[in-house]
Amino acid sequence: MIFIMKPGASDTEIQHVVERIEKKGLSPHVSKGTERTIIGARGDEQKLAELPLAAIPGVERVIPVLKPYRLASREVAPSGTAVSVGGVKIGAGHFMMCAGPCTVESLPVLAETARLVRAAGAQALRGGAFKPRTSPYAFQGLGEDGLKFLREVGDAEGLPVVTEVRDLRHVELVARYADCLQVGARNMQNFDLLLELGRVRKPVLLKRGLSATIKELLMSAEYILAEGNHEVILCERGIRTFETATRGTLDISAVAVLKAESHLPVMVDPSHAAGRADLVESLTLAAVAAGADGIIVEVHPCPEEAVCDGEQALLPAKFTEMMKKVKAIRKVVA
């Protein structure tokens, strides 16, 4: 921890900071410049972390040396971590394409979608059974029936299944059927849900909140990791900005920042970022070029009849075409 004192801080104020540091068992090192004094605190920084240090008289700023996200930090595994989603690896050089409908609508539609995306090269199937809808009157998902359909179709096609768990009370139920539990953007800071997922032995796909910073996303990942579940995949899915041309603004820099800051695999969801099918390919290719370890994308055999998010769903033929370009870009960046 580094304390930067205000210009003109008195000797009494400096001495007070020194005493506060010593009281917590750290060793202070005072460096007096011509304009200001800087005080370094060596030792277990965590002991100071929760104190309102900037409230100490004479202190202008306090800079922590350690990252607040210890387990999510790149320092933990400099070459990256691979997470296994039902046997399919993502991260540390492994790329995973996950595709499927926004929501599970029926067994035949899901089965058809899965067959087509697998034929195009997808390695995992997505589909929501518990949907986080803005309106309480909108379709909320098929619940456990949806989970059953996902499991059945996933097993038939040999595709691991990724699905959202919206509620703390459903963690056990969803974990019984899914290979990977998705935390939706709206739940990124549902800390009780994160803690519960930390106790599950299934990977978690953690989506970035609509207005969450990268640091907040990493702190949310830390909740899951600190509780003992080390299989966390981060996901950039578009954030809220002033721009209205797209549903969200895909933060491509988040991919590069997350890769630099964390050892965890990074996925990108171009569908919810774009909100328009015609932009999904561009965003996908940009994400792959930026170093994303995986993509999660919405595909529907008949988007105009989709129960949810049809405007942003790719037709299977378009998905097939996009997959070819993804593979080509992977060759360049991998």
**CB-CB neighbours of 166 under 10 Å:** 23
237 sits near ligand PEP (criterion: CB under 6 A):
yes
Q: What is the DSSP letter of 290?
A: T
275 sits near ligand PEP (criterion: CB under 6 A):
no
In Å, what is the CA distance from 206 to each residue of 35, 162, 176? 46, 11, 18
207 sits near ligand PEP (criterion: CB under 6 A):
yes
**Residue 146 binds which entry of ligand PEP, Mn ion, none, CB below 5-8 Å type-dependent:** none
CB of 209 to ligand PEP, least distance (A): 9
269 sits near Mn ion (criterion: CB under 5 A):
no
Q: Using the rule CB under 6 A, which residue among 132, 143, 291, 310 binds ligand PEP?
A: 132
User: Which among 29-37, 75-83, 94-102, 192-200 is the span making contact with Mn ion, rule CB under 5 A?
Assistant: 94-102
Q: What is the DSSP letter of 256?
A: H
Return the ∠ at Cα 255 (arms to 252 and 259), rounded to 5°: 155
User: Which among 25-33, 113-121, 211-219, 301-309 is the span making contact with Mn ion, rule CB under 5 A?
Assistant: 301-309
Q: Using the rule CB under 5 A, which residue among 102, 181, 185, 235 binds Mn ion?
A: 102
Closest CA to 38 of 78, 65, 75, 74: 65
Q: How far apart are the first and last CA of the chain?
A: 37
**Residue 184 binds which entry of ligand PEP, Mn ion, none, CB below 5-8 Å type-dependent:** ligand PEP
Closest CA to 110 of 76, 141, 132: 141
247 sits near ligand PEP (criterion: CB under 6 A):
no
State the Cα–Cα distance between residues 270 and 280, nearest whole angstrom: 6
Interacting residues with Mn ion between 308 and 327 (CB under 5 A)? 309
Helix, strand, coil percent content, the chain, rounded in steps of 5: 40, 20, 40
Tokens representing 14 are 């400096």
80 sits near ligand PEP (criterion: CB under 6 A):
no
CB of 231 to ligand PEP, least distance (A): 19
**Residue 310 binds which entry of ligand PEP, Mn ion, none, CB below 5-8 Å type-dependent:** none
Q: How are beta strands 2-5 and 59-63 bridged, if at all?
A: antiparallel
- Per the CB < 8 A criterion, the answer to whether 236 and 266 are in contact is yes
Q: Which residues bind ligand PEP (CB under 6 A)?
A: 102, 128, 132, 184-186, 207, 237, 269, 272
Q: Which residues bind Mn ion (CB under 5 A)?
A: 102, 309
